[in-house]
Structure 1
């Protein structure tokens, strides 16, 4: 036997209940509701029939809340307050002042840029829940395709943001050389270029940053050398730690220099063919939800011209 469905009670009936509960007088409650007393009396009686419990005790001289009425009153007040707030919440969601933003990011923006943006954006839109996911660009692309992220901050070679996504360029920076602090080439401000090309190289796999990886490999190929990669690592911090351990040297974005690691020094090279890398905010084409649109606008107004 199927259970009897719960009665459908509209907000008007609950407002009438609260008015009577607070006034404890049908005449005053009717005046407060801008109606006459008989329809209000009938409405309360109908509400009690639907609930199958008395909400009020009535005598010719007095109206008092019944136990069921006392139990319901605070919850009904909360219900009405929440209902009254719904239009404002809808407007806030449409304007991007509430909602959820799932943002992927590569480690290089986590050193300085992302914390500053997150703090400022949360001050502007505190009701937007930000979910931050550190991930390499290949993982971000997969997550964006599967609707597990709304947007991502990715590294790539200049002008080579993923073509299937919309993008906003954030910054352009050179690659710098990370060396063990006790390495012979670390003694001066500008290591010898030919000597650099002979050093064991710690690098990142092509799959996580293909356009930058290819640009670095071309440096060696154009010099007639085979890139001497001895170790690969996914995270930039791990690459720097391997350099500190003396495994080799590494080409890293200049923003990585903010990651201070004992035993590592950074040198900015003057070689003409040294590639740069860009950071872009990327997101899927099509309709953009309001919270993401607000973040894109925020980033656009807080990015210095490249």
Structure 2
């Protein structure tokens, strides 16, 4: 049979006696009389099964067990005292945990600045970051394993069934191997581009943008020659540098300066797909998530 849990009141009384080493002075500090305090310490010793104080008519001294318990008891009381403020901070969104997923493209643009500024504004929020594509993010948001996700998609294709906030829109540009003739050409011919082998992300991870790129080819009466698929944008760019083909990437990927790769904008960008980055979350935003949504809304409107 387990012993009863020690009440916080008993620990408070123990600390008062341990710090004053005098039952009378400890009772005054606790605004009580001495006999109930003596009884409370005896109760605590009975529950713990150890003697906490050596008492004589002239002195009160901590035993080894009592001395060992003093620091943990002080810490326990300090943490208990902080609980109301912690609860209020969590309820207001100023404390707690925020699990945020992101696609790799935002790492080249606004995410580093966002993380730095959000943490400075909300130091009590523990931000957990996970790099993941949409096919991983959306089921995790459904299960409640994530609080929010930064997703990439074609304009107008924000994920259904989620609350969402558009963060940015940008065009696609070409990533070309540096030795490729188009990399140094005075102008980039779109028909010439469409004839080149393509390094592409699989449709399952980004269906709307995949279909938009393929639509560009089909509108010109061509079928894309996909030479290699890769999931992460940095991997796609690395494969371009290896000469496996060209790639359509969001303009922000230009920040990824890979040796052997040149970024070019297609002529006039007529018919060239654009992409959007969206913050998505499930249900009503509360706590730290509400704080982040407010932060993201301010950032998006400012830019």
Bin for the TM-score computed over the shorter chain = over 0.9
Contact 2:153 2:208 in 1 (8 A): yes
Q: CA deviation at 1:287?
A: 4.1
Name the counterpart of 1:228.
225
Q: CA deviation at 1:152?
A: 1.0
Q: CA deviation at 1:209?
A: 1.0
Contact 1:190 1:268 in 2 (8 A): no
Matches within 5 A, 1:133-212: 133-212=130-209
Name the counterpart of 2:236.
239
Contact 1:93 1:290 in 2 (8 A): yes
SS in 2 for 1:302: helix
Matches within 5 A, 1:84-163: 84-163=81-160
Q: Distance in 1 between matches of 2:56 and 2:48?
A: 21
Q: CA deviation at 1:289?
A: 4.2
Name the counterpart of 1:297.
294
- Count of residue pairs the alignment pairs up: 302
Q: CA deviation at 1:245?
A: 2.0
Q: Is 1:283–2:281 an aligned residue pair? A: yes
Name the counterpart of 1:40.
37
Name the counterpart of 1:258.
255
Unaligned runs of 5+ in 1: none
Q: CA deviation at 1:271?
A: 3.2
Q: Distance in 2 between matches of 1:163 and 1:240?
A: 30
Name the counterpart of 2:67.
70
Name the counterpart of 1:30.
27
- Classify 1:33/1:208 alpha carbon distance in 2 versus 1 (closer, same or farther; 3 Å): same
The TM-score, its normalising length taken from structure 1, stands at 0.92
The TM-score, its normalising length taken from structure 2, stands at 0.93
Q: CA deviation at 1:61?
A: 2.4
Contact 1:189 1:267 in 2 (8 A): no
Q: Distance in 2 between matches of 1:56 and 1:244?
A: 75
SS in 1 for 2:169: strand
Q: Is 1:9–2:11 an aligned residue pair? A: no
Q: CA deviation at 1:276?
A: 0.5
Q: CA deviation at 1:171?
A: 0.5
Unaligned runs of 5+ in 2: none
287-296 or 204-213, larger mean C-alpha shift: 287-296
Contact 1:177 1:266 in 2 (8 A): yes
Contact 1:96 1:294 in 2 (8 A): yes
Q: CA deviation at 1:305?
A: 5.6
Q: Distance in 1 between matches of 2:53 and 2:239?
A: 76
Q: Distance in 1 between matches of 2:200 and 2:47?
A: 72
